[in-house]
Amino acid sequence: MKLTESYIREKIEEAKPLVEEEMQLMSNLENYDILILSAEEISFKTGRTIKEVKMCKGTYNSPILYGNPQFIYIPNFKGNEFSFRSNIFHEITHNIQSSNFKDLYFLLGKYKYDTLNFYKETSIACKCLIEGDACLVQNSLSKRLGESDKIIHKKLSKKERERNYEKLFPYIHGEKILRQKANGGEDRDLINKLYTSSLQEIIDFFELPKPRTLLWTSL
């Protein structure tokens, strides 16, 4: 599926009120940039590997770090219009998170440079909230709109899932725990309150499995 700036902008504008309603929070997308770059360019810009760029399909850069919010995509999106729309739900969720809860995003940015893993458990718990909630909103909206069964995307093999376990864990485990503890993901008051909870409360909420060292050991 070939992407153009006008198509991406149209889909963001369509999705923005839906995500705001779902999260019961406002975005700050009055002005934003759309970048269509090669996987190599996105890798250089974001620090992700080329494989990671191709796996995640698109990315969002917080205005805390980059000025205007940025939606960044490779020219050929691997999926159909429904999977792209689902991805837009996910990325707009990140905009709402970063514009309403700047402190949490600032901390997560610091943990990227924690090469000695002093704060690894805290980093994973924060990612469980940020990425888990983005997946929750993304999947809940797709289901509510009757589009879940229409989404076409590449399914990872068992070997790929194992190899990418550490990167995928916050997405999968985060959404699972939010659904379990927040009335199937419907209790937005509880979820939104988590963003201003203490770091220890966030760690406890997501019940990171033991031994916890397994979460950041390459498989």
Q: Read off the pLDDT band of 218 (50, 70, 90).
A: very low
Give residues with Cβ within 8 angstroms of 82, minimum separation 6: 142, 147, 150, 151, 152
| 201: number of Cβ within 10 Å | 13
pLDDT in tens, 43-94: 888 778 887 787 777 788 876 655 799 999 999 888 899 999 999 999 999 9
pLDDT in tens, 85-125: 999 999 999 999 999 998 887 777 666 555 555 567 888 89
What is the structure's pLDDT at 43?
A: 86
DSSP H or E segment with residue 71: strand 70-73
pLDDT in tens, 156-214: 666 766 677 778 899 999 999 999 999 999 999 999 999 999 988 999 999 987 544 44
Give residues with Cβ within 8 angstroms of 108, minimum separation 6: 123, 126, 127, 130
Please tell me the distance from the alpha carbon of residue 117 to that of residue 172, in angstroms, as a whole number. 22
- Contact between residue 23 and residue 89 where contact means Cβ atoms under 8 Å apart: no
CA distances for 58 relative to 1, 3, 5, 34, 38, angstroms: 13, 11, 13, 11, 11
